[in-house]
A and B are shown apart, each in its own frame.
Chain A
Amino acid sequence: AQKITQTQPGMFVQEKEAVTLDCTYDTSDQSYGLFWYKQPSSGEMIFLIYQGSYDEQNATEGRYSLNFQKARKSANLVISASQLGDSAMYFCAMRVRGPAILTGGGNKLTFGTGTQLKVEL
């Protein structure tokens, strides 16, 4: 079974500062993908960044970077130069390669419980 753990229910950060949101995962599979999504109060889940288990470099997308430490099974999201618009719920998620990949059938994501980030002036 796969599990994602986000231990920070809430985080505060000052505008223009950097913030790290923690995510640890547990899987016995060697092939997996890790995702971060942002969910503002409006409800839409916005894809931020992806890291594959075989990727040697940490993923980056603009102000977002993923600090991937495979041996520690962690995939922390780093947001640089925080903005007021970054205030939202952030979910870490994992997808594991499984039998369904061979037969088709979509991909299941396992989500963490989320971290509520608030950016302050």
Chain B
Amino acid sequence: DTEVTQTPKHLVMGMTNKKSLKCEQHMGHRAMYWYKQKAKKPPELMFVYSYEKLSINESVPSRFSPECPNSSLLNLHLHALQPEDSALYLCASSQEQPLTDTQYFGPGTRLTVL
């Protein structure tokens, strides 16, 4: 059973809306990740937080804004999205151990941009 939770499970928004995706983990992990996944494709890394600091930004457009309020929480703020941003957004966490570090994923948020 996953210990990474994501809310909401589904989200429909217009291009002018502002919304947020939330992720929470209860495993004491120190790294957290956001991925974007299109249908029948592998996940694409967007952001990585390590010890609550942004460590990797994979050249994501500024309409996506991550936030890590504490070591257990990760948010993704959405603003002025485009229809092509419709996808499954996955959150993951890991312990930050060399090599054996395993990422555990949440159930995802299915986002539709109209």
Contact = CB atoms under 8 A, between A and B. Distances in A.
Nearest to A9: B40
A22 to B, nearest CB: 16
What bracket does the count of chain A residues touching chain B fall in? 20 to 34
B45 A32 contact: no
Contacts of A31: 99
Contacts, number: 83
A52 B108 contact: no
What bracket does the count of chain B residues touching chain A fall in? 20 to 34
Contact of B99 (A45, A95, A116): A95
A33 B43 contact: no
Contact of B40 (A100, A111, A114): A114
Contact of B110 (A43, A52, A109, A112): A43
Interface of B: 2, 31, 33, 40-43, 45, 48-51, 55-56, 88, 90, 92, 94, 96, 98-108, 110
Question: Can you list the 6 inter-chain pairs with the closest CB atoms, starting with the nearest?
Answer: A105-B55, A111-B42, A106-B48, A45-B105, A43-B108, A106-B31
